[in-house]
Amino acid sequence: MAWTDERVELLKTLWAEGLSAAQIANKMGGVTRNAVIGKVHRLGLSGRATPAKPQRGCGPTQQEPREETVAAKPQRSEIKSVIPEVDTITPVVLDTGAMTTVATIKNNMCKWPIGDPAKEDFHFCGQPAAMGKSYCSHHARLAFQPPQRRDRPVVRRPAAAILEKRRAAS
DNA sequence: CCCTGATTCGC
DNA sequence: GCGAATCAGG
């Protein structure tokens, strides 16, 4: 499966959301966690909820003096659960203008995340979505596991199977 | 043994 | 660029 623009987008979002590589891989489908990790690294984004990792290969003495950790944390817009849930839109006051932000998005607008959730220009797709739906028809297929291809040939609900058996017995 | 991300390396 | 294999750790 190729890394399309939107898949990369989704990957970045989920990764920023704090999901593990395996979870992302499982959610997206068609890729393994290795693929996700590899892509994450290739994209340059790596490390977030994994602090204090002296990076594998602990040599005898390694303490490079770092002088680049100056002030660099202006604000981090907390965006909770961008992917799931429709209503309960976090009333975050984040105004960037006429964009479809968390503040301006409506219930019937596509909530597919566009851009970096940690940046100011982050917004949503905004295309018309069915009432009660989170995404427009285009992104809906991406949001829901498209290649959820799992062969389940004759898996009937247990209750139904029992009833069927009973009826046959009597 | 389950899991995590990190790195390597053949493709 | 991609990702399986591998590595290093929790």
Q: What is the pLDDT of residue A115?
A: 65
Give the Cβ contact number of residue A22 at 10 Å. 13
Residues of chain A falling short of pLDDT 50:
50-98, 102-103, 148-157, 159-169
- Enter the pTM of the model: 0.51
Nearest-angstrom CA–CA distance, A162 and A138: 40
Q: Which nucleotide is nearest to A36 (CA to C1')?
A: C3
Angle ∠(A10,A104,A125) on CA atoms, nearest 5: 30
Q: What is the pLDDT of residue A38?
A: 94
Taking only Cα atoms into account, the Rg of chain A, rounded to an integer number of angstroms, comes to 22
**Nearest-CA residue relative to C1' of C3:** A35
Residue type, A159: A
Instruction: Give me the CA A15–C1' C7 separation in Å, rounded.
Output: 22
